[in-house]
């Protein structure tokens, strides 16, 4: 599992997330300006990819945090 997280961390950097956002913005501008007409399903596909990348980044960062700082809870 640790190796999978390291591989994902090497691949899913913030640059991928920014790239997906840029593609969504450019695609929306192209469609709204009438240059091309394509299905909105492509927009939602890019949005889904962006969410997966963001979730992966958050997961890796949270696991690093949890590993570094052990949280101890007191029973009351």
Query: What is the H or E stretch that residue 22 is in?
Result: helix 14-33
pTM: 0.64
Give whole-number Cα distances, 65 to 16, 20, 57, 58, in Å.
22, 26, 12, 10
Per-residue pLDDT band at 43 (split at 50, 70, 90): confident
Residue located via tokens 């469609």 = 31
pLDDT tier at 10, thresholds 50, 70, 90? low
DSSP category for residue 74: P
């Amino acid at each position: 599992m640790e190796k999978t997280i390291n591989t994902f961390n090497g691949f899913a950097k913030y640059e991928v997330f920014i790239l997906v956002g840029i593609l969504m913005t450019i695609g929306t501008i192209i469609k709204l300006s009438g240059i091309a007409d394509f299905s909105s399903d492509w927009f939602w596909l890019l949005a889904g990819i962006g969410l997966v990348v963001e979730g992966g980044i958050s997961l890796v960062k949270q696991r690093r945090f949890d590993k570094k700082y052990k949280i101890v809870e007191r029973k009351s």
